[in-house]
Amino acid sequence: MSALGFIGVGIMGEPMARRLLRAGHPLRIYDPVPEPVSRLAADGAVACRDAAEVAEGAEVIFLMVRDAAQVEQVLSGPGGLAGRLTARHTLVCLSTLNPEFMKGLAVRLPGVALLDAPVSGGRAGAESGELAFMVGGDAAVCERVEPFLAVMGHQIRRIGPLGSGQVAKAANQIVITLTRAAIGEAFLFAARSGVDPEQVRQALLGGLARSATLETYGPRVSGLENPVQFESEILKQDINNTVAAAEAIGVHLPFATLVRDCYNHEGPRVEG
């Protein structure tokens, strides 16, 4: 079994790392929060004092942190990876990041094999091993890493060169955020018309409006007084980054921009 590293064992990272452990892979881990590190160490992981120590004994390192600022901290902060990564290492960024940021890493880490492999599926998918990975990077590197990704997910699709996985994840978040807004408005319309939104949801599941978001997110808001929700720090971050990336290449996304403004509490709000 290959020795692996996993940096960032939070809400998503902990169950993903645990699946690698249960598959028999020796695993070196690091996170500044001690509790999940202790739980994984009890399951057999090697707890490291910093990111650099992870690189000392692992050639394939998975990075699952919140944003680019945390990636920078892991790479260049005290005990960072940047000075320890060599041509023998493969760094797999599972976080949702700007495509241009990923391309910049390739310049900063010459000789290091890089993949961007952002995930979709949430904590439930991480726990069940049913995540979807959208991968950008060299095809041979993707093929080498795919068996490890397959332990954590049910779909691994290489989109194209480095950064293209992030483009696919951004497209995913456009669909998710707009669909959530549409579901909330549909349920609000149903409730104000004197119809049970949950019954409407069940009916919609049988037609063209059916979606994974309607199935999983719909029940969480169908009974709320105001089902139009814009209160998710993760989605707020992602849709802000997506609109910014689109603007950087001269593309205007009117509906994504509207939803972004709603998440930032700057746009029109629908009150229940």
Per-domain residue ranges for the chain? 4-161, 167-263
DSSP bridge partners of 257: none
> Beta strand 4-7 with 27-30: parallel, antiparallel or unpaired?
parallel
pLDDT at 222 over 60: yes
**Inter-residue contact 58 to 3 (CB < 8 Å):** yes
Model confidence over 142-198: pLDDT tens digits?
999 999 999 999 999 999 999 999 999 999 999 999 999 999 999 999 999 999 999
Single out the residue of 162, 158, 148, 156 nearest to residue 58, CA to CA: 148
What's the rounded Cα separation, in Å, for the pair 101 and 73?
14
As a whole number of angstroms, the distance between CA 29 and CA 167 comes to 28
Share of the chain above pLDDT 70, in %: 98
Q: How confident is residue 1, by pLDDT bands cut at 50, 70 and 90?
A: low
CATH number of 4-161: 3.40.50.720
**For this structure, is 236 an active site residue?**
no
Average pLDDT, the chain: 95
**pLDDT for residue 260 is more than 70:** yes
Q: How far is residue 44's CA from residue 180's CA, in Å, rounded to a whole number?
A: 39
Please state, in angstroms and rounded to a whole number, the distance separating the CA atoms of residues 158 and 163.
11
Selecting among 158, 169, 201, 236, the annotated active-site residue is 169
* Level-2 CATH architecture, domain 167-263: Orthogonal Bundle (1.10)
- Over 60: is that where the pLDDT of 272 sits? no
